[in-house]
Structure 1
Amino acid sequence: MSLSENVKSILRIFKRSGVDKSLYFATFLLAIFGIYMIADASVGSTIRLGPKFVFVNLFKQLFFVSIGTVALFVAAKGMNKKLGMNNLNKCKLYYGIALIALFACRLWNINGSHAWIVLGPVTIQPAEFMKIILVFVLAYTLGELPKRYKISKYISPRKRRELLRIKKRDCLYWPVGMVLGATATIIVIQKDFGSAAILLAMCFVVFLCAPDPYYRPYKKMAIMAAAVGVVVVAVGSTFIFRSHQLQRIVTWKDPLNEKYIYSKAMQVINGLIAFTNGGLIGRGAGNSVMKFGYIPEAQNDYISAIVAEEFGFFGILIIIVLYCYIIFKLFNYAQKIKNDKYKLILVGISSYFFMHMIVNLGGVSGYIPMTGVPLLLISAGGTSTVVAMYSIGAAQRVISIYNKDKLKREAEESL
């Protein structure tokens, strides 16, 4: 056996499970670093809340990462080849459950927002579940369902019109209606514009990446509608956004205004100070100053400011590299995979990570208004952690199907 054949045999053994192990490495590296940073950032609140606060946050995140790990491997190993949704009724069922959960959040008010379901010490954010559910819904309705409507040119014009009407209803109106319905519910009922923007943006990317030629004319319409929507939001922001959302935009535009510098803009300014304090290499692990009351709830959405202060520009850069590696890998596999549904699942999950990274880091660093979006696997947050890890597991299942099929073809060709 030649050297090249030996190398190929070793690679086959390494890829026997079919999963991409480097994705596991990047995911767990982020999750472990997140556990450390949450405990570290929580130290700043011990004077006000007591020393137990650190251990509570630490063990909560350990618990959620453990649950997320189980969900990851269940998704990667336990799901059958018909990954995700495989009929329209199932899409409607899961979507309906998630929508009811979004409305149920109205029963709880946390800091003026109705984004969580509170069950004792645990809070659940249904919007995170809705994001991954819509990825599966769109992957099925845009990727697989159109192929089931084979409209022959030999049928009667009346029958043809009826089939085209049903196809448009199931393959276009239903998925678009589900996305817009979820977005409107999150904005109106939950008052969570950040989650709504991310959900809408990632679904828009999935729609644009739908390979079926049926959607080509509708993609142009979607791009035009998105452009009009951006203009309407920009021009009519005074009428569209609520007072606290407008306040975030005002303080983002002019954080040094003397009206807001010691009140509404204080968190924004202190976040920027944390970035400045960190410089290139940071003040060192555990040496953040801004976590001691200057940035309230530093373990949540503003945790990247603490990372920047302690580990500097290079610390933030490493996190960005790990996120970009996950995003690139998923998009790269999406390009290779021929199955349209699986392709869109990977596009949706990679968009999910990309949007969270851009919105969080952009908000904390002052490039865009802060919208209260967590940095996946790093910020404290049980729901976002579990959903992020589950989504990686689902992506790994798609990747394993692709790699196993590829190895099988290579083995058959070598015979």
Structure 2
Amino acid sequence: MFKRKVKKVQKQQKEKKKRKPQWGLFFDKVRHFFSLTPKSDRIVTLAVLLLVLCGTVMIISTNVGGTTSNANIVLMTTIRQVVYLVISFLFMWAANHIFNFKWFSKAQNMILIFAFIFMLMPLAFAASGGSHAWIRLPGGVTIQPAEFAKPLLILVFATSLYQARKDASMTRHWQILFRKPFICWAMLMVGIVLQHDYGTGFIISFIFFICLMIPAYPQMETFQKWLRRIIGTVFIVALVLFWVTDIGTSILSHTPLAHIATRIENAKNPYTDVYGSGYQPANALYGIGSGGLFGRGIGGSLRKYGYLTQADNDYILAVIIEETGIFGLGILSLLYGLLIYRFFYYAFKTNEFTYKTVLVGSSAYLFIHFVLNVGGVSGLIPSTGVPLLFISSGGSSLMAAFITIGLCQQCISQIRLKEMKSNAYRIR
């Protein structure tokens, strides 16, 4: 009786497919092809879409301020942003569907060599803002290799743990286990120091140390304990030298890193040189202060009209708060918090350290970007030139962030499928 009902339902479904127009079937196939893997987290997808939508609207809004000198800038910005989004989505799809740790572990050495060369390529181009961080292509297109280094470092960590599953000798000595990640981090840091992009260097180091803190093996507990103590001590000493007193900034001001000392002074009080080095931080604070609880309304910002030269990039948050108020900042914080919460939720749910590393490393990536950007714009910490992921303009950061989301969704899909199989086995 049950088999007859199943056959009847299958027959009805076939008849529906026959009646469906060919173009309908075509679009179904296209939608299925470009969709994420089964059992991906829809909450993560929704949060990313809302962040991207908010970012696109605000990028277009901030560029209205440039219409005084270029009437076509809004149209050009919209087209450019759509192109970046399409390319970013394709990268996310590839990371979600095509990537696997098996072939990455085999090609890892070649990828690291290519990554190091890629990191050195910007040195052949002119500096911008004191940093040689961009590869400049014809048509005004730029690529920032350091943005792609962040998901790469997470993958190298995760791949080491993937290889350890097949090679038991790696787990006996954790120094061997994390040799490749350390080499990767050191290579990336060499390129970043040569580029003078210290904000990115801090982010990559933060991701590196967070991944090291994941309790993968008991043999690492002593090392992790001492590493936490060292980092805590360095943080307290730096806080005293650079924030509580002026000892650190006075020393830095007589070195090639004098611009960092200037940024620290601007964070303490940008109004001491409001028409010089404190111009952007001061105007960002003016914008934030005038936003109030609900802001001036979309398009109502005054600071984007020449007062903030990086209104659609590093300082886009100042325009967002000016136009949407503290309420807008709260919504953004909620969406970022939701992403990080979902990643940690699945990281604690799985015993597979490969997936755990990807999810925790990606959470660290999102968290530190958010903290550095919000802190820099609000003057709580020195400005580091770090973009607000999914919100700020810039194709490289958007693509790197989408790659990270694609990798996380693949890990989440595998965790959920494995959970379903184990539940089905228990029922049997």
CA–CA distance in structure 2, aligned partners of residues 319 and 298 of structure 1: 17
Aligned mates of 1:195, 1:16 — CA distance in 2: 31
Cα deviation for residue 193 of structure 1 reads 1.0
Q: Of 82, 101, 116, which aligns to 1:62? A: 82
Are residue 176 (structure 1) and residue 182 (structure 2) matched? yes
What is the alpha-carbon distance in structure 1 between the residues aligned to residue 173 and residue 220 of structure 2?
A: 12
Q: More displaced, 105-114 or 283-292?
A: 105-114
Q: Cα distance, 1:390 vs. partner?
A: 1.3
Mark the runs of 5 or more structure 2 residues left unpaired by the alignment. Answer: 1-35, 242-247
The letter for the 2-side match of 1:174 is K
Alpha-carbon distance between aligned partners in 2 of 1:276 and 1:241, rounded to the nearest angstrom:
34
Summarize the alignment of residues 161-172 of structure 1 with structure 2, pairs less than 5 Å apart. Answer: 167=173, 170-172=176-178
3-state SS of the aligned residue for 1:189? Answer: helix
Identity %: 32
Size of the aligned set, in residue pairs, is 381
- Does residue 106 of the first structure (1) align with residue 123 of the second (2)? yes
8 Å contact kept, 2:55–2:391: yes
Instruction: Give 1:7-86 correspondences, 5 Å limit.
Output: 17-48=38-69, 50-80=70-100, 82=101, 85-86=104-105
1:291 to 2:312 alignment: no
The question of 1:250 aligning with 2:234 is answered no
Q: More relative contact order in 1 or in 2 (CA 8 Å, sep 6+)? A: 1
Deviation at 1:73, TM superposition (A): 2.0
Question: Offset of 1:95 from its aligned partner?
Answer: 2.2
Write the deviation string for residues 37-60 of structure 1: whole angstroms up to 9, x where unpaired.
111101112223x02222222211
Per-residue CA deviation, residues 13-39 of structure 1 (Å, 9 max, x unaligned), is: xx9911111111110111111111111
Task: State the shift of 1:111 in Å.
Answer: 2.6
What RMSD, in angstroms, separates the aligned Cα atoms of the two structures?
Answer: 2.2
3-state SS, counterpart of residue 256 of structure 1? helix
How far apart in 2 are the matches of 1:394 and 1:28? 16
- Is residue 2:288 matched to residue 1:275? yes
Q: TM-score, normalised by structure 1?
A: 0.86
Q: Report matched runs for 1:7-406 at 5 Å.
A: 17-48=38-69, 50-80=70-100, 82=101, 85-87=104-106, 90-108=107-125, 109-120=127-138, 121-141=140-160, 143-150=161-168, 167=173, 170-186=176-192, 188-230=193-235, 235=241, 236=248, 238-239=251-252, 242-257=257-272, 260-406=273-419
Note the alpha carbon deviations across 1:249-303, whole angstroms, 9 max, x for none: 111112222xx12211111111011111110000001110110011112111100
> What code does the residue aligned with 1:112 have?
G
Relative to the length of structure 2, the TM-score reads 0.84
Q: 1:388 and 1:83 mapped to 2: Cα distance?
A: 23
Quote the Cα distance in structure 2 between the aligned partners of 1:376 and 1:55.
Answer: 22
